[in-house]
Amino acid sequence: MEVLKIATAGSVDDGKSTLIGRLLYDTKSLTTDKLEAIEKKSKQLGYDYLDFSLATDGLVAEREQGITIDVAHIYFSTANKSYIIADTPGHVEYTRNMVTGASTSQAAIILIDARKGVIEQTNRHFFINNLLRIKTVIVAINKMDLVAFSEERYNTIKSDFETLMGKRDYQDQKISFVPVSALKGDNVVNKSEKMPWYTGKTLLENLESIAVQDIYNVGAPRFPVQYVIRPKTEDFHDFRGYAGKVYGGELSVGDEVVVLPSQTKSKIKAIYFHDENVETASRRSSVLITLEDDVNISRGDMIVKANDLPTIDKQFTAIISWMDDQKLTASSRYIVQHGVNKVLAKVACIHNKINPDYSGTEDTVDALGMNDIATVSFKLNKPIFYDAFKNHRTNGSFILIDSQSNNTVGAGFIQ
Amino acid sequence: MKNTSQVNPLENEAIYIFREVAAQFEKPVLLFSGGKDSITLVRLAQKAFYPAKIPFPLMHIDTGHNFPETIAFRDRLVNELGLELIVRHVQDAIDEGKVREESGKYASRNVLQTTTLLDAIEEFKFDACIGGARRDEEKARAKERIFSVRDDFGQWDEKNQRPELFDMLNGNIELGQNVRVFPISNWTELDVWSYIQREQIEIPSIYFAHTRATFLRDGLIWSAEDAVVYREEDEVVEERLVRFRTVGDMSCTAAVLSGATTISKVVEEIRASSISERGARIDDKRSEAAMEKRKQQGYF
């Protein structure tokens, strides 16, 4: 079955958790015991409605404060698809959490409070989803019940949002709008009787119509070697297989390949998909490859097709989303984890930073703080094999690790 | 010859995670309980390293309250696959006075496992413990990372977790820390059952419908056949056709009424079920934050 990962974005109190709870409830994904727990808790808190956010806010502190702190993963399915929703909080570490949630998602839902309309945060939510080149974005205009289900209000917000869309970098993004009331259940799973003027798809119908297969820009096949398998058993005495996941296009037996960084040429001898022999390894499959020639390959090397090489360089420029309390400064050192490859990196230059209101950029910056997004150049201690993020989602992205705390402190998108 | 066009994204993700563990850590271990999730993990690990053997041992933290069927199954599986199995017993920690046995109606050894687990991690210097927890099981688990860092007291700092981006897994840790790894984080209960069905994986017999002497408490069905399950005199024993949906400690795992005698009937039943899997686990019902609390203390 197809699995669709969705990121959610909304400001505090836009009703994100309620919307997800509503999706679960109306698709009958909430089990009796979970529902009973929500009923009990809602009553205890003195609400006269079911607080669906209680289904997703999993930590004690979250329930105490009535907010979402950390990314939660929610699962539900229809006859057609399995869904994984990354419920990302709108607070403090908003950008960090949104980038994290969106990095593994293929679609996004942006929530707007119909009373407030397009606000500064909406700008940010849209910017991040566009930066991460999320192909399908659904703008859910929520709390329509509080604006008397007004078509005029919906149209104003829609047209305000369309103004934002003019500025986007990634123009192929598909954007659709749905007026909903998560609390009352209008246009989430079931068509609203209160908004006969809206003839489009409900939120769920929008999700159901996304074709998961078309989501990634394919790009050239890249095979980062994760692990070398040498069984040293009688049956597989001299066997040397290279384990990894195929990113981008596909690889087939007989393909002429180049191993990076040694640039050694060889041919694919066999492909094992788990315990079976296969002819072709399609993208995102975890396989084991053997080569015709005896090549010295270790973890972090990359097997690519001979006619389509990535950039091989000891420097690159990337958009960085900074995620740590400790600031990124010019000339500081980090570990770049690019796929399975880890190299040491030094900040060469911070070029410009996106303004907090996402209206433009600031040119003279010497440090980046939590939630900042900026263009940064790096120098590496050895070459990596990369593509631009816009051409290759996987081979164009990386994470930054602080070598002292070992924490993941940033995400990067190679220009 | 076939190609891989029928890719199961969850299976491929899990295999990728297993290979990352083997590459990034020096001493990984697979925590094996004999339940369906850890049995699924073993199959995925076999696939991840084929044609080589699984490059790490299995470890079972035995509460002493396991279903006998599960233990027999565990030993057979380990033998057949030629795997190394480490067993550490909660009873030993009780005998040494490290932990005190709970008493009364709701007594369970589930919480006590944590001490034995942490001791074993220290004894073998494991730096990665692979487990079969899934995010759909419980809402504290929904917040869990695939690589989840624990300090040297085994504690989970849930409010200060590393962001996990793309499919890049950061396994950098300090000496003394360890990482809990959850390769089937993104699977649901139904995904696991469908996989068991597709792969024709053998599982212990208690997952299938059988007649068992049982009694009712708090609306749940408990086994009356096993001495470790506490029963009050006025709790009436009756034979029922049941199966178990999860296989934990006998004292805290309730059965469900079921006539499902084959995998396909089990899958059908779960598809139609309106009760969550952990709805029959009394350890989660202790309080709303039961799992979060246990995880903070190093519970798996």
Residue B5 above 60 pLDDT? no
Q: Cα separation of B225 and B215, whole Å?
A: 10
The residues with which B77 forms a beta bridge, in sequence order, are none
Contact B279 A398 (CB under 8 A): no
Q: For residue B34, which amino acid is it? A: G
Q: Does B165 touch chain A (CB under 8 A)?
A: yes
Q: Give me the residues of B, 241-300, that contact A with CB < 8 A.
A: 273-276, 279, 288-289, 292
Identify which of B248, B283, B244 has the alpha carbon closest to the alpha carbon of residue B102. Answer: B283
For the ranges A318-322, A387-391, B227-231, the lowest mean pLDDT is seen at B227-231
Contact B4 A407 (CB under 8 A): no
Question: Could you give the maximum distance between any two Cα atoms of chain B, in Å?
Answer: 64
Q: Cα separation of A30 and B136, whole Å?
A: 11
Distance from chain centroid for Cα B105: 24
Backbone angles phi and psi of A57, in degrees to 5: -75, 100
Chain B residues touching residue A280 (CB < 8 angstroms): 3-5
Do residues B172 and A401 touch, judged by C-beta distance below 8 A?
yes
Mean pLDDT of chain A: 89
**Best mutation site among A5, A30, A273 for testing chain B: the one with the most B CBs within 10 Å?**
A273
- Measured on CA atoms in the order B138, B143, B147, B150, is the torsion positive or negative? negative
Chain A residues touching residue B22 (CB < 8 angstroms): 227
Q: What pLDDT score was predicted for residue A11?
A: 80
> Which percentage of chain B shows pLDDT scores above 70?
89
Q: What pLDDT score was predicted for residue B144?
A: 84
Residue B285 above 60 pLDDT? no
Of A56, A75, A231, the CB nearest to B52: A231
For the ranges A228-237, A304-313, A318-327, the lowest mean pLDDT is seen at A228-237
Identify which of A104, A185, A173 has the alpha carbon closest to the alpha carbon of residue A144. Answer: A185
Q: Give tens-digit pLDDT for A20-62.
A: 888 988 888 887 777 888 888 888 888 877 777 776 655 566 5
B141 compared with A385, residue with greater pLDDT: A385
Q: Does B54 touch chain A (CB under 8 A)?
A: no
**For chains A and B, what is the number of CB pairs under 8 angstroms?**
188
Contact B165 A56 (CB under 8 A): no
How distant, in Å, are the alpha carbons of A30, A332, B155, B228, B250 from that of A60?
A: 20, 37, 16, 32, 28
Q: What pLDDT score was predicted for residue B226?
A: 78
Of B23, B46, B135, the CB nearest to A226: B23
Q: Cα separation of A71 and A59, whole Å?
A: 11
Chain B nearest C-alpha distance from A73 (Å): 5
How distant, in Å, are the alpha carbons of A410, B78, B109, B211 from that of B280?
A: 41, 28, 16, 18
Q: Does B190 touch chain A (CB under 8 A)?
A: yes
Tell me the average pLDDT across A7-14. Answer: 83
The residues near A157 (Cβ < 8 Å, ≥ 6 apart) are: A112, A114, A117, A118, A141
Residue B1 above 50 pLDDT? no
Residue with tokens 């891989």: B4
Segments in A30-93 forming alpha helices (H) = 32-44, 60-65
Q: Give tens-digit pLDDT for B13-39.
A: 999 999 999 999 999 999 998 899 999
Q: What pLDDT score was predicted for residue B43?
A: 97
Task: Indicate the helix (H) or strand (E) that contains A341.
Answer: strand A341-354
For the ranges A54-63, A258-267, A272-281, B280-289, the lowest mean pLDDT is seen at B280-289
Chain B residues touching residue A286 (CB < 8 angstroms): 11-13, 15-16, 19, 48
Q: Give tens-digit pLDDT for B62-93.
A: 988 888 889 999 999 999 999 999 999 988 88
Tell me the average pLDDT across A272-292. Answer: 92
Do residues A297 and A259 touch, judged by C-beta distance below 8 A?
yes
Mean pLDDT of chain B: 87
Residue A241 above 90 pLDDT? yes
Residue of B nearest to A394 (CA): B166
pTM for this entry: 0.92
